[in-house]
Structure formats: structure tokens, C-alpha cells
């Protein structure tokens, strides 16, 4: 059983699983195809990914241009601020973003459909991030938007200079990238 919360951007959801806990620990479902389909989230997930990062690491904002991916993301250790930026050309929310704190404690998930740039920053000492994708990763197809594009205006809660990969330091602004789905 899940609670699906719509966000200000169509197609992006914050999902809360039902958690069964007692003095021994807890149990929860992290995905159930029928529940997601009943909520209108009809995805065929074909790849799972897992990353670990330290505090201040910012990954993103990434997208796949010709092989876009829908992603169901969650954190199993630590805490991150996760962001989706709408890149859908005809969307009334093109260029807008929505973000959510995901943590091992709150157990929330974030559903990001195709046509979005995605990124996150680690707020805890370390974080382990897992996600399902409905398309395989194609490294040659990856693109990005700069994490601090003033026109997108993401309000990152991490204070200080984030740790970026060399690739993520070189992403253009959304306007310069001219990307849209």
C-alpha cells in the first residue's frame, strides 16, 4: 500500500510506502506494479542502480536525450535533497523544478517521468541512493544542465561548495542546452 502525492509538476510524485514496524524492526514494500498502475504510473522498470556518495556530493542534473528514463528513486542510508527539472517542450512547467528530502528515516520515494533532468545533493555524512529505471543507461546519450542555473533557480539546501564530477562542472544552462522532450 502506497500513498501517492502529486507535486506541482504533472507526472512527478512523492510516494510514501506503508511501513509495518515493531520492536524487531520494520517491513515495507518498495514497489508493487498493480498499485503503481492503479495510480496511473504505468512503467516497465528494467534496470536497478545503487550509488553511494559522501556529504556535499552533488550528482546532476542529468538526462538521457534519445533514450530518456523514468526513475523511481529512494535513499536506503543517509539523506539527500532530490530534484527533477521539467524538460518537456510543450509542458506548462517547462524549466521548473520540484525537490524533496529523501532519507532512510522518512522512506519516501520520488517518481520522475521521462523528459526530466535529475540530480541530488547528499546532506548526511554519506548516503546510499537506489533507483529503478524504465530504460537502459546509454553513456553516449547522457546530457546535463548546470546544477546552479539561475533561470531554473533550484534552492539547494546544502550550504557550501558542492563536490561535482568534472563532467557535471561543464553542463550548460538550460537555455544554452536547448534540450526539450
Which residues are part of the catalytic machinery? 62, 131
Cell of 111: 517518481
SS3 for 81? Answer: strand
Burial status of residue 144 (CB atoms within 10 A of its CB: 0-12, 13-18, 19 or more): buried
Q: What is the largest CA-CA distance in the chain?
A: 53
Amino acid at each position: 500500500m502506497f500513498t501517492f502525492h502529486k507535486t506541482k509538476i504533472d507526472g512527478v510524485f512523492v510516494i510514501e510506502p506503508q511501513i509495518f514496524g515493531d520492536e524487531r524492526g520494520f517491513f515495507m514494500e518498495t514497489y508493487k506494479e498493480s498499485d503503481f498502475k492503479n495510480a496511473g504510473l504505468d512503467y516497465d522498470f528494467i534496470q536497478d542502480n545503487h550509488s553511494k556518495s559522501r556529504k556535499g556530493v552533488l550528482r546532476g542534473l542529468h538526462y538521457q536525450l534519445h533514450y530518456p528514463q523514468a526513475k523511481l528513486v529512494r535513499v536506503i542510508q543517509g539523506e539527500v535533497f532530490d530534484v527533477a527539472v521539467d524538460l518537456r517542450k510543450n509542458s506548462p512547467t517547462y524549466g521548473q523544478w520540484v525537490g524533496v528530502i529523501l532519507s532512510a528515516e522518512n522512506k519516501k520515494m520520488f517518481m520522475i517521468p521521462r523528459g526530466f533532468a535529475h540530480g541530488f545533493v547528499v546532506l548526511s555524512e554519506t548516503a546510499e541512493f537506489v533507483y529503478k529505471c524504465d530504460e537502459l543507461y546509454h553513456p553516449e546519450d547522457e546530457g546535463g544542465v548546470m546544477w546552479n542555473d539561475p533561470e531554473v533557480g533550484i534552492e539547494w539546501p546544502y550550504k557550501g561548495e558542492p563536490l561535482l564530477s568534472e563532467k557535471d562542472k561543464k553542463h550548460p544552462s538550460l537555455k544554452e542546452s536547448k534540450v526539450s522532450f
